[in-house]
Amino acid sequence: MTEIGRRAVLAGLAAAALPRPAVAQGARGRVVVVGGGFGGATAARVLHRAGLAVTLVEPVETYYACPFSNEVIAGLRPMSAQALGYEGLRAAGVTLTRTSAEAIDGAARQVRLSDGTTLDYDRLILSPGIALRFDALPGYDEAAAEAMPHAWKAGAQTELLARQLAAMPEGGTVVLSVPGNPYRCPPGPYERASLIAYHLKTRKPRAKLIVLDAKDTFSKQRLFEQAWRALYPDHLEYVPLAAGGQVASVDAGAMSVATDFATHKADVACIIPPQRAAPIAAAAAVADRSGWCPIDPVTFESRLVPRIHVIGDAAIAGAMPKSAFAANAQGKVCADAVIDLLAGRAPAAPKLINTCYSLVAPGYGISVAGVYHPANGVLADIEGAGGTSPVDAPDTVRRQEAAYAEDWYRTITAAVFG
Amino acid sequence: MRLGLLLLVLAGPAAAASPPGASSCSGCHGAPGGAVPSLAGHSAEDIAASLAAFRTGARPATVMNRIAKGFSEPESRAIADWIARGGP
């Protein structure tokens, strides 16, 4: 049957009350979404628009976005630009509970909330984000993070690192520790290094940044290294794993960061520790021994617990990076799959796109993009597509990509939270 | 339940809400007036022709050339049709 023919038939079946009858007709059931970030808020919106009963569980009233938070750290952007509220979702009619999910019973299909109430579901979408592993790096626990911020969840930690950097004495040393894969926002640490170096170059020219990395290769590496050579030769020292860059321990009291080869005394230390899916994933038994959540690449349904879908940074999404763009794209695809499943239809194999911009300086943007599809049970890169900005691009392209980055943030935050 | 079964037959086994990849576009393409061009008001022919030109490299781009290569001509056409009909 043609699309128009099918739509006409469906319209004739008294589905007129639903906003998207062609999609939602036949789909019925309760959906709970846990986590109101870029993934969860997107999924909740799509499900609501399709006419399904959806409840979004999110304890905070203000969400602080990670994308562009490196600019806040470098003093280039106010924290208020990262603050997003849920008024837009409420105005759109999405039901929000301002509580957190404490436990999930996959057999009973029930979420227990911190206020003691429970929510039954037919399908559950988890978009819980990450937890910092405070057991993974000797000396780095939650108390140490107050002296040596990770700033890897935007909010108070972002402002703390920004304040420390602004208050650092002339000629000081900043140490930035980067974890091994996988972690939230693969190019993020290198954008942070770039913008901290920019801050030092322009405001504290005698100061220096040492980047200690637990790996030898990273996202957009040639582009970052090219920019560092050109812009920050006197301010940024990069130490890869092969040169002894892996941090073995930290001492927050002494403000020192130790590798197997050297101990660096820091005036400001940003320690980005290893990560895993947020605790509710383990509580729901959807995280595996890696700490992350294996999923079906068509529906994002957990490989471990049926009827629970996992999207965003917590999911093992194959070649897709842990990014806000990816979470948003997954939120839409997963919500559509849930609609199909609740209607008794088999979801079609999706394709997903990711584009991540990084700023190496104001007005100097670089990007990496990818297109993904399910292959051999995982989300795989489509060969021949995607890749990074050209290494030999002129300044006009760098300026254009910086402008696109800004515009992407405006568009995606309006679409998800507006 | 009978209605549900009827719809199941009518809708076929794989009635996706949007063609593969299409829902990702709004990650960057939003309302008119920004640096990233809006897709609103463009015809399916326009969008499909742009995607084809990005794919071959005939039309220069910063990122759309890399993304368009991930879609075949029929896939691009389906996305273009969906967006021109109003998208989500």
Report the alpha-carbon distance of residue A405 to residue A413 in Å, rounded: 12
- Domain presence at residue A199: yes
Q: Under DSSP, is residue A180 helix (H, G, I), strand (E, B) or coil?
A: coil
CA-angle at A319, arms to A313 and A323, nearest 5°: 35
- Helix A324-342 with A395-417: angle, nearest 10 deg: 40
> Model pTM?
0.93
pLDDT in tens, B5-60: 444 434 433 344 799 999 999 999 999 999 999 999 999 999 999 999 999 999 99
Contact A411 B75 (CB under 8 A): no
Q: CB distance from B14 to chain A under 8 Å? A: yes
Mutate to test the interface with B, among A6, A38, A325, A355 (most CBs of B within 10 A): A355
Here the CATH number for the domain that contains residue A256 is: 3.50.50.60
- Domain presence at residue A357: no
Domain that holds residue A235: 144-273
Q: Given a cut of 80, is residue B63 above it in pLDDT?
A: yes
Q: CB distance from B27 to chain A under 8 Å? A: yes
Residues of chain B neighbouring A347 (CB-CB closer than 8 A): 14, 16
Band (B4; pLDDT cuts 50, 70, 90): very low
Domain range annotation of chain B: 43-88
Contact B69 A386 (CB under 8 A): yes
Provide ipTM, 2 decimals: 0.91
Tokens (6 digits) for A74 = 């470098």
Work out the minimum CA distance from A219 to partner chain B, whole angstroms.
Answer: 16
Residues of chain B neighbouring A340 (CB-CB closer than 8 A): 14-17
Residues of chain A neighbouring B31 (CB-CB closer than 8 A): 411, 414
Report the alpha-carbon distance of residue B29 to residue B39 in Å, rounded: 6
Residues A152, A156, A162, A163, CA torsion sign:
negative
CB A286 within 8 A of CB A305: yes
Which positions ≥6 away from A239 have C-beta within 8 Å? A210, A211, A212, A213, A245, A259
Q: CB distance from B12 to chain A under 8 Å? A: yes
Place of tokens 């436990």: A103
Contact A382 B20 (CB under 8 A): no
Q: Give per-10-residue mean pLDDT for chain A (418 aa).
A: 41 39 71 98 96 96 98 98 98 97 98 97 98 98 98 98 97 98 98 98 98 98 98 98 98 98 98 98 98 98 98 98 98 97 96 98 98 98 98 97 98 97
Report the alpha-carbon distance of residue A104 to residue A281 in Å, rounded: 9
Please name which of A83, A210, A51 lies closest in space to residue A154, comparing C-alpha atoms: A83
Q: CB distance from A42 to chain B under 8 Å? A: no
Q: CB distance from B23 to chain A under 8 Å? A: yes
pLDDT number for residue A24: 55
CB A178 within 8 A of CB A210: no
Edge-to-edge strand list for the sheet holding A110-113? A101-105, A110-113, A118-120
pLDDT number for residue B88: 74
Q: CB distance from A353 to chain B under 8 Å? A: yes
Tell me which residue in B24, B25, B62 faces A397 most closely, judged by beta carbons.
B62
Tell me which residue in A26, A336, A411 faces B36 most closely, judged by beta carbons.
A411
Chains A & B: contacts with CB separation below 8 Å: 153
- Domain presence at residue A343: no
Q: Under DSSP, is residue A77 helix (H, G, I), strand (E, B) or coil?
A: coil
Q: Under DSSP, is residue A391 helix (H, G, I), strand (E, B) or coil?
A: coil
- Domain presence at residue A192: yes
Report the alpha-carbon distance of residue A149 to residue A271 in Å, rounded: 6
DSSP secondary structure string, B33-83?
Answer: TSSSPP-TT--HHHHHHHHHHHHHTSS--SSHHHHHTTS-HHHHHHHHHHH
- Domain presence at residue A283: no
CB A125 within 8 A of CB A311: yes
Please name which of A272, A354, A314, A358 lies closest in space to residue A68, comparing C-alpha atoms: A358
Edge-to-edge strand list for the sheet holding A263-265? A247-251, A256-259, A263-265
* Amino acid letter, A46: V
Q: CB distance from A25 to chain B under 8 Å? A: yes
pLDDT number for residue B8: 41
Contact A345 B88 (CB under 8 A): no
Report the number of distinct structural domains present in chain A.
1
Burial status of residue A167 (CB atoms within 10 A of its CB: 0-12, 13-18, 19 or more): exposed
Contact A26 B7 (CB under 8 A): yes
